Amino acid sequence: MDYASKVIDKEECKNLKVVFSNKLNGVNGTCYPFLRTIIYCDGYMRLNRNNIDAITYTVVEECAHLVRLPHDEIFYKVCCDLGCDVSSPPKGIKYYWKYFKQCKKCGNEKYYNRKPHNKLCKKCGSESTIFFGKVNE
Ligand SMILES: [Zn+2]
Ligand SMILES: [Zn+2]
């Protein structure tokens, strides 16, 4: 079966819903093939807007899920047919997280989507600082 042409088939794309969400942090996007819906992380798209490889990688990856859900051999082939090898993420890709905790003593970092209540560092037990809207690579 020619999966890639199935994705770009006009009928297949007709009812496709593409959403940019600010609730989907820490990932690039997600696909619900049965609802014909692709959700992209708004923060990720903004953060990587100057990195065409990171954007292509994400768009192709989610579109391929429309016809193939598991990350298996067929899935990676579909991505290649759509013009992007997603088996390894492009350089300089950044993920958006809502919160970020950094230890004042050892510098240990942790990322969160919800505000962390525990300020103590898991590594050394010292107090951490909590930041808003931080990025990791
Ligand atoms: Zn995927
Ligand atoms: Zn620490």
Q: What is the CATH number of the domain that holds 52?
A: 3.30.2010.10
Q: What is the Å distance from ligand 2's center to 128 Cα? A: 7
Range of the domain at 109: 97-136
| Mean pLDDT for the stretch of residues 102-125 | 92
My answer on whether 74 and 109 are in the same domain is: no
102 shares a domain with 42: no
Tens digit of each residue's pLDDT (9 = 90 or more) over 34-62: 898 999 999 899 989 999 999 999 999 99
Ligand approaching nearest to the C-alpha of 89: 1
**What global pTM score does this model have?**
0.76
Q: Which residues contact 106 (CB under 8 A, 6 or more apart)?
A: 121, 123, 124, 126
Do 109 and 55 reside in the same domain of the chain? no
Asked whether 110 and 100 are in contact (CB, 8 A), the reply is yes
Q: Cα of 110 to ligand 2 centre, how many Å?
A: 11
Total H helices, total E strands in the chain: 5, 8
Rounded-to-integer distance, Cα 94 and Cα 11, Å: 33
Going from the Cα of 98 to the center of ligand 2, the distance in angstroms, rounded, reads 20
Q: Which ligand is nearest to the CA of 105?
A: 2
Residues 49 and 10 in one domain: yes
| Count of structural domains within the chain | 2
Q: Is residue 87, in this structure, part of any structural domain at all?
A: no
Dihedrals phi, psi of 53, to nearest 5 degrees:
-65, -40
- Asked if residue 124 and residue 64 are part of one domain, the reply reads no
| pLDDT single digits (tens) 20-36 | 998 877 788 999 988 98
Compute, in angstroms, the gap from residue 121 CA to the centroid of ligand 2: 5
